[in-house]
Amino acid sequence: MSLAELESTIAAMVQKGRGILAADESAPTIAKRFASIGVVSNEESRRIWRSLLAGTEGLGEYISGLILFEESLDQRTDKQTSIPEAAWAQKIVPGIKVDKGKIPLALSPGDLITQGLDGLAERLRVYKAQGARFAKWREVYAIDKNVPSQHGIAANAEMLARYAAVCQAEGLVPIVEPEVLMDGCHDIERHAEVTEAVQQAVFQALARHNVVLELMILKPNMVLPGKECRRADPDEVARATLNVLKRCVPAAVPSINFLSGGQEPIEATANLNALNQQAPNAPWQLTISYGRALQQPALQAWQGKAENSLAAQQALLKRAHLNHLAMLGEYQADKEDN
């Protein structure tokens, strides 16, 4: 493990007022998003879209990291630079999603587990040679009457910790993503209960595997009611989320980069703003690792047409700027109309 290398990456990624753009959608997920605007998902359309994102002029002012899907590391922009190089040109650190997706956890009905540990070290060496400096691994926890089980929580925590240890051994900063889904009809108290149990297990596992907390990033869900329940206002979301974080996340972790997890773009920004207003002196940076909540307005502006590229980039830049304000606790809803 090269401490100097990992420290350099963390320093480039963890900066006040900057967050992470997740552009690492799997083939089925990006196909759904493209279908919503009438675009066929293929290697070329994905190249064009992710090149557009990485090449948005001024994005580096608000975004410090870009999570890519495996194929993007080898793809080139229209200017014939690689997508990771295009990101670096704006001081945006390129990273890579390394898990291989979720499957049912054997003999544990309702629980899920993520695949991809086999051969991970070898893959990381290839990704690093292609320009990646950090990695991301996601574990998913559904909420139901008896789910997640204690066995499921423990098994997923172990996977995240093993992944993080391999990343640090290979000189890549790990983003640890335990996502408790907001799907369902649970209330915010139930979501908080499960999120706390999950995060406690994750940090216990990270300690067992000697993961250096100062050299990792946590990407958790906010605490929210289920999609089928009433919506919670930003102050309620912030209070519930901070209560869990204070109980579970050591101060040594430098940054908590929230996933948007099905929230609408404005909702995700308002909730982040409330978090930073309620915890201006938090020991961790409270910022973003948003995918759809950053990309959706840009996708709608793009519509798969080259002549709309600039409008799409402007939409992305606006959303990134609004989230930058939320990272500082300075976002106001009326800025959406400016």
Model confidence over 101-153: pLDDT tens digits? 999 999 999 999 999 999 999 999 999 999 999 999 999 999 998 999 999 99
Superfamily of domain 3-337: Aldolase class I (3.20.20.70)
Instruction: Return the percentage of the chain with pLDDT > 70, whole number.
Output: 100
User: How much is the average pLDDT of 265-270?
Assistant: 98
CB 75 within 8 A of CB 83: yes
Is 219 tagged catalytic? yes
Residue 338 has pLDDT above 80, yes or no: no
* Max CA separation in the chain (angstroms): 53
Q: Rounded CA gap, 223 and 56, in Å? A: 31
Query: Average per-residue pLDDT in the chain?
Result: 97
Residue 164 has pLDDT above 80, yes or no: yes
Instruction: Record the tokens describing residue 24, joined without a space.
Output: 């690492």
Catalytic hit among 219, 228, 267, 336: 219
Model confidence over 201-240: pLDDT tens digits? 999 999 999 999 999 999 999 999 998 887 899 999 999 9
Catalytic hit among 139, 177, 179, 267: 177
Instruction: Return the percentage of the chain with pLDDT > 90, whole number.
Output: 95
User: What pLDDT does 243 receive?
Assistant: 98
What is the dihedral sign for C-alpha 191, 193, 196, 199? Answer: negative
User: How much is the average pLDDT of 271-278?
Assistant: 98
Instruction: Record the tokens describing residue 185, joined without a space.
Output: 């009809």
User: What pLDDT does 337 receive?
Assistant: 85
Helices (H) and strands (E) in the chain, counts: 11, 10
Strands 102-104 and 112-114: antiparallel
